[in-house]
Structure 1
């Protein structure tokens, strides 16, 4: 029997059978969710089709991989993020979320190597730790601000602050100003990295 050569421009087809087994058609072998997770890490593109109906079930299989990783203790999705995400299902802004999350992950992926370099530098010189922390805070702040865009009425529905809370609000304003300064510093650092 002649073996088929896989077109490198086409995603690998994985078939999922009723018995929940996954079959890699490129390698003619059964695989597990762990194998698929490794393929993702290696940058191998694949689609998962239901063996009987031919329906594309890639999204649900990828979600299942994430669930499995989270169950193993690889907690990357904060509880607050998951709650905000669930709140957006059925919301009028739901259609914007996939594009936003895609863009966020693309930005994160582009910055990933810079972050790794900064971590390496942190072991060589302590000032780099401050830069890494500033970049992390900046990324989180950007993410939180964007999530607030998807829930614009949350602040309007909040009760008026008590006198003690007003003092806390002043501290929050000061903290926001510091975050803004850190963000500007991070942008300047990123510009310097790009030029070098």
Structure 2
């Protein structure tokens, strides 16, 4: 496995372990319409249907509205399918493939594996916003290849780049340090990544 794939796998594992986007069995109504938003990456629409097609017990939910699933009393069945061994494996594989895009977007600006993983764990919110954020901070002289410094700049400034307003500043700061703490305490074969 090459470095890109190793990094993407570690990003996916981090997103899952920290629950940034949700748990394996997370199901809610999408804010964009009456369809389910599911799993560890809040897949929805066509991406959600693709995930469901990988899971034997999930196929019956393809193309259905969230309210139909709830009203039919099948929400727990959908959650169980997503949290099954097959559902977990599908989510990890699909998320790791998505994470390749995150890694590719960030590698031109980051050469420290820990920093690539850290920044990529923010990409489910918006890969482009994270890429531009890291690129700009690097050009402005921030040490984006130092994990602690990168966490600090995400904690202090990411809410501005995301254009969410000061009321989300503390939430983003908490996420920044939770992500940092995950990376410094999680067992990753750094010697393989940095070889």
Q: Which TM bucket (shorter chain)?
A: under 0.3
Greater Rg by CA: 1
TM-score, normalisation: structure 2: 0.23
Determine which structure has greater relative contact order: mean sequence separation of CA pairs < 8 Å that are 6+ residues apart, divided by chain length: 2
TM-score, normalisation: structure 1: 0.22
